[in-house]
Structure 1
């Protein structure tokens, strides 16, 4: 039976750890596990066979780190051998009912604009592995241990575009239910469901106990089968070996509890063995199987936030749009992206939940501008975006590079429009705005508009797009030319809600076009629309009258518990303060916190007219970074924003350095950073480097896959008092321990700080590190304590 016919209909079991078992069988510190596909074929086959004998239905190829970055010369040989070993093990075990998953892990690099890896290059890297593995005979693709939703999207697109196999995806959450780059369970589920994967879930990083809250949320929001593959507890070092604290019996017992939460696929990750899987299968296979229920949630998401449509009305900020805005048009013509970013940030501050993005001008390349604006916006703010264009090329470029599940504005009831837009929504995911107009124009009656809404629903279903991913625009037409138009729009909203069970949206301010004092009409019509079931309102969130109507409506309808939102907005001031214009001067500290590089540089130049350079650093730059760092530690600022703030601070530092040219340069201290031998994943190291340099430290970056001897020799030669070591994989933390041991012997006065997804405080203590840094800011704090 085909895999896809069984998935979600019966219990399925993945295998367990590969790298941790290879270590037990002699994989040397720093040795790449994938090379054993060539050098130790019998060992790889025997591990696969042991998992099949234990009851695994799916075995993962030994290709977790296989990509052209790590294997530029023999990638095909590595991947083909891996698939061949899995197939041979299946034959030897007599398990023709089992399936082979092409295992794809992260590249270890951050994608642009946060890192240096272009999105399309990431897609190409993953695509090459997919093509080789699919041709070699894999039955499905498993994308696993992803900590960045943008890289996750690149991998899923690569799989979808390069094979027709089922695609499964699992990510690595921390104990707070967040990805490294800030993604929540809800945001990840929205992204993956939009991209059309066949199952999703969580693996690695945590043991089964720590995963329970995450799994509960996954089963609450996912409509797809859920996969859970924990580590065998938390790692520690014993006699130079990495061991895990949960044995097979306890692991199986905990997995049985997880099975009862409503998941469909179980397996193991680091530290688990065939014994762990055998006992898990024995305890869980006989449990009642519950297929995942369709949730019918309407969700749009960014890299870190998910906004559900259908409960509390959603505000969509309309200011990123050139219509009637001369300054915005000038910004588009001049490529002044920071003006556009400022418009977005201002709307976020004013209470918008989603931002509409329209960059269409006849004289510019709209597709290129959409790509640039979407990419930059999602690097400095966390709100989801609505991609607003009638240009299908611009629409696709924006959707492809968008880090999340966007709203799409729009499709109409015209067949040409639906044939152009729905394939894009099906491929990339999105919640699309359906305009109630067709080849015959805009109906004058609510009945006519409701019929077009039905046509849009029915046609979308033919593309596999559910009604939950359509939001109907009832079309607000100006009452200055038709005094009854508002009533038709309100009836349309009410009937879509009551008769069709759908969600609605309006560009509210269209109702008052051509009238004086438009905000009077707009605000009152907005309240009426909300009363008639309006789900989403495209408005100017900087307009006080509109937000007063919105907040009052929530308070009056019981959607603002204890009137908390209303009181927060109006309780401490007699009248709302006017919003700053997007092109007004911005203080240096705010520009850094916002991640606006050009604004930070301009503010630094202006401040240096009256403030000495070093005073500016100590009173403005460092405090701003501290505020961002505290927000990151509190979970209110996410990694992309942290990195963009660091980039803005760097731009300001560069201005300060120019002002101090010729004067003695001071540094707070010198620090070595390195990713240890055998590990090419340098995301964590590079993030730490950016922050340390912005705090005034000189970083000697030795790169990735660095031998212990190189690190120690550099520390001795340069007399560096602090060494930072990073590792992502369990198979390489042994190299970290060797490096620390050699440092203690050769340079005992050096302090060592360690970090990485596989590490814990207990593990860091057991290998002799002086400090375990669970995130980049922790490394900065430790450096401050070392250097005083």
Structure 2
């Protein structure tokens, strides 16, 4: 099959699940399926053949979990299992359909990347690179990156493939019914990032059945020109007669796919629970059919994994992360401290900044190293997109590589040398870029001169494959004190660029008032004038509430804020703030708010410092119960409401850990007893090496004051029972990700209930539901870390 010619033109049929069929054929629960590439190669080849006979045009090699992280202590290397997996698929192809293609399958690595986890981006990249090289050498025709819940991990995998091969890349993430990944990623961000990185097809797999994924796929189909792939589960599994079964039939599975086909779905297959019978029915209905055309909405966006900013409107770019004139910030950057940076960033976002400009230009620091660390720190507490502001091309390229999302580059100008140095990285990582209307001759005095440079920048960017939707033009704000006539030329150029070139615009607003009294007055008036000429991204200090009010008012008068709803909402919030500020809170309340705010915002050093101050007045238990736990409860409520996502939840928990460290150090000096609220044993069951969820639950529980005894992953029933008895715990937490290991969870529950009937058991994991938990006799189903805390409170009351 000529994949390049067919992709996006005719429907392509993938195969279905490997694990489900292996289980049907008697795979021992908990076995690592990839080992069977060598141990039971004929069985694997026969499964591939069954899918080819059913009509699959691409078969997926049995390499999903074959990475060095998961295979540690198994006696196998990733390279040998991947090589065998590819060769098995190729042999099946030779026997059944030589036109079929073999896909190297890359699944999640099994550990969370920084900042949520401990796995570094470069480590993830190297693990995927190792898999890719083995698969390429073995003769894979393409790569399918699938079942990814963290957009950062998908980024590492895509880059590893693109930089070490020319193989086509399909990438699918796994989403919940609410349109978010496990880590809080959004559909819009996934599409933007994967498009920007240059994958060949994107979409969804696993998690849910096709009916529940249908609205999410519909959304994707409207947002990308790329071919869209869907490989859904046959619903969520249940236990019947001691066996894991999927209830959706092939006919039921097909119906939503037929509807999505009419909307433009291009690649179709199956995930957990699907078998050759599913693929046979899909192929009979859709194989060789032409892909339907669809209407795509052109968008100019930047994003973090969980938050997308549409550049078509008016969005404030916070300007305060800049060392110019800030001695404290300069000193902290030199010392490797990020307290000032994080606090300044959080305050700007709270004040209304939709994007943060990140400028760390100091001559006496390693700007690249500090930039990368700053990005990691900022993305651990905030979800707004960043604007990378540097004059060093190598700093920009590094920042774009490690930024989790679509960033703005600030900036290039009309000099050919500058564009040549920066635009390749902009294209490679799918970033947006600001073009300054100046060149080697300086800033043109006239609007026409600046317009000509803007046009040149856009044309040059096009030569690199950068679309207009990614370009933002800065017509450059001149100071009214020195170049008064130039202010009008800036506004004139802004209007020309907006109307004639059709790109987005930005201005550093406060430059206009430099050297004059009452700067804020001049800034506000210039801002309003620029907004009516088409300014999209004013770079201002969002803490200047008068400036923010001008933006809200201009949106009403410019007919952008329909019904003045955002204006009314903003004004109401301001009035409430004013009313609260006029009240005089008690001393304890002020202290509580200070520490609570630090925890909610994820400011670890500030939290530790405030805790140390409070220890001079209060005992440790008072601080835990009146300060730390109430703050975590607020974070948990925001998480439940979808106002924050997993990275922020984890960071707040880590912030409480910093406070606990201070408390425990002080208690040790005083010889005081520990402040634990009780012990909890946790384990990932036998045969399962995926413990991301367990580790997150552990972190959050510990920071609510519980002592967690973590047995790790791949833990047998005997070891679990022994830990429960030795620790005399009242609560046990078990996790499992794979359908093949839920049976082991059921066995562990039975063993614990027999040995320690007084111990309550909570279970969680991607394949579990409340009904499933009840079927395997668990006492509680922990949907997420927040639910686990409530269960702990119930079983281990204060």
* TM-score, normalisation: structure 1: 0.97
Q: Is the 8 A contact 1:190 1:306 kept in 2?
A: no
Deviations 1:640-690 (Å, cap 9, x if unpaired)? 111111111111112122232211224222111111112111110110111
Map residues 49-448 of structure 1 onto 2, 5 A cutoff. 49-72=49-72, 73-93=76-96, 95-285=97-287, 289-291=291-293, 295-310=297-312, 312-448=313-449
Q: Is the 8 A contact 2:10 2:288 kept in 1?
A: no
CA distance in 2: counterparts of 1:713 and 1:24, whole angstroms: 32
1:775 matched to 2:784? The reply is: yes
Q: Tell me which moved more, 53-62 or 734-743.
A: 734-743
CA distance in 2: counterparts of 1:490 and 1:111, whole angstroms: 45
The structure 2 residue matched to 1:691, chosen from 679, 685, 700, is: 700
Structure 1 equivalent of residue 587 of structure 2 = none
CA distance in 2: counterparts of 1:600 and 1:613, whole angstroms: 14
Structure 2 equivalent of residue 625 of structure 1 = 632
CA distance in 1: counterparts of 2:385 and 2:573, whole angstroms: 29
CA distance in 2: counterparts of 1:215 and 1:511, whole angstroms: 47
Structure 1 equivalent of residue 585 of structure 2 = none
Structure 1 equivalent of residue 526 of structure 2 = 525
CA-CA distance at 1:266 after TM superposition: 1.2
Structure 2 equivalent of residue 660 of structure 1 = 667
CA distance in 1: counterparts of 2:30 and 2:717, whole angstroms: 10
Q: Tell me which moved more, 552-561 or 59-68.
A: 552-561
CA distance in 1: counterparts of 2:664 and 2:79, whole angstroms: 48
1:474 matched to 2:475? The reply is: yes
Structure 2 equivalent of residue 612 of structure 1 = 619
Deviations 1:409-447 (Å, cap 9, x if unpaired)? 111111111111111112222101111122222222222
Would the alpha carbon gap of residues 273 and 572 (structure 1) be closer, same or farther in structure 2, given more than 3 Å must change? closer
Structure 1 equivalent of residue 756 of structure 2 = 747
Would the alpha carbon gap of residues 398 and 162 (structure 1) be closer, same or farther in structure 2, given more than 3 Å must change? same
Helix, strand or coil: the match of 1:454? Answer: helix
CA distance in 1: counterparts of 2:712 and 2:572, whole angstroms: 52
Q: Tell me which moved more, 281-290 or 538-547.
A: 281-290
1:485 matched to 2:486? The reply is: yes
Deviations 1:26-60 (Å, cap 9, x if unpaired)? 21111100001001111111111111111112111
Map residues 664-675 of structure 1 onto 2, 5 A cutoff. 664-675=673-684
Q: Tell me which moved more, 707-716 or 344-353.
A: 707-716
Deviations 1:344-368 (Å, cap 9, x if unpaired)? 0001001111000000101111111
Map residues 448-597 of structure 1 onto 2, 5 A cutoff. 448-571=449-572, 587-597=594-604
Helix, strand or coil: the match of 1:168? Answer: strand
CA distance in 2: counterparts of 1:233 and 1:439, whole angstroms: 61
Unaligned runs of 5+ in 2: 582-589
CA-CA distance at 1:295 after TM superposition: 4.1
Unaligned runs of 5+ in 1: none
Helix, strand or coil: the match of 1:320? Answer: coil
Q: How many equivalent residue pairs?
A: 783
Helix, strand or coil: the match of 1:409? Answer: strand
CA distance in 1: counterparts of 2:452 and 2:243, whole angstroms: 67
CA distance in 1: counterparts of 2:422 and 2:231, whole angstroms: 37
Helix, strand or coil: the match of 2:762? Answer: strand
Q: Is the 8 A contact 1:3 1:139 kept in 2?
A: no
Structure 2 equivalent of residue 709 of structure 1 = 718
CA-CA distance at 1:248 after TM superposition: 0.8
Q: Tell me which moved more, 618-627 or 757-766.
A: 757-766
CA-CA distance at 1:253 after TM superposition: 1.7
Q: Is the 8 A contact 2:197 2:428 kept in 1?
A: yes
CA-CA distance at 1:292 after TM superposition: 5.5
CA-CA distance at 1:731 after TM superposition: 2.1
Q: Tell me which moved more, 3-12 or 229-238.
A: 3-12
Deviations 1:262-308 (Å, cap 9, x if unpaired)? 22111110000111111122223476522465543211111211111
Helix, strand or coil: the match of 1:319? Answer: coil
Q: Is the 8 A contact 1:232 1:245 kept in 2?
A: yes
Q: Tell me which moved more, 558-567 or 504-513.
A: 558-567
CA-CA distance at 1:574 after TM superposition: 5.5
1:31 matched to 2:31? The reply is: yes
CA distance in 2: counterparts of 1:656 and 1:369, whole angstroms: 30
Q: Is the 8 A contact 2:263 2:294 kept in 1?
A: no
Helix, strand or coil: the match of 1:637? Answer: coil
* Aligned-CA RMSD value: 1.9
Would the alpha carbon gap of residues 118 and 128 (structure 1) be closer, same or farther in structure 2, given more than 3 Å must change? same
Would the alpha carbon gap of residues 286 and 119 (structure 1) be closer, same or farther in structure 2, given more than 3 Å must change? closer
